[in-house]
């Protein structure tokens, strides 16, 4: 239940490669109904989990 069934973490070699992958490979797959993307230009922090 919820808004998303899957979360895909994709790393592309450049900014032109990512939309090509999304349009030609991911969105065109027969079992994919909707694709939403969020783009991160660079990693700010990568220290794993944050304790609350």
**Pair 19, 27: CB distance under 8 Å:** no
The pLDDT of residue 30 is 94
**Pair 22, 34: CB distance under 8 Å:** no
5 lies in which domain range? Answer: 1-52
The pLDDT of residue 1 is 63
State the total domains in the chain. Answer: 1
The pLDDT of residue 31 is 92
The pLDDT of residue 14 is 85
The pLDDT of residue 25 is 93
- Cα torsion 48, 35, 28, 17 to 10°: value is -50
**Predicted confidence pLDDT, tens digits, the chain (52 residues):** 678 888 888 888 888 898 999 999 999 999 999 999 888 877 766 677 767 7
**Pair 35, 27: CB distance under 8 Å:** yes
């Amino acid at each position: 239940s919820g808004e998303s069934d899957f979360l895909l973490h994709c790393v592309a070699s450049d900014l032109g490669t990512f939309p090509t992958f999304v349009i030609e490979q991911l969105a065109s797959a027969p079992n994919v109904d909707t694709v939403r993307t969020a783009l991160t230009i660079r990693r700010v922090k990568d220290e794993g989990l944050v304790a609350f």
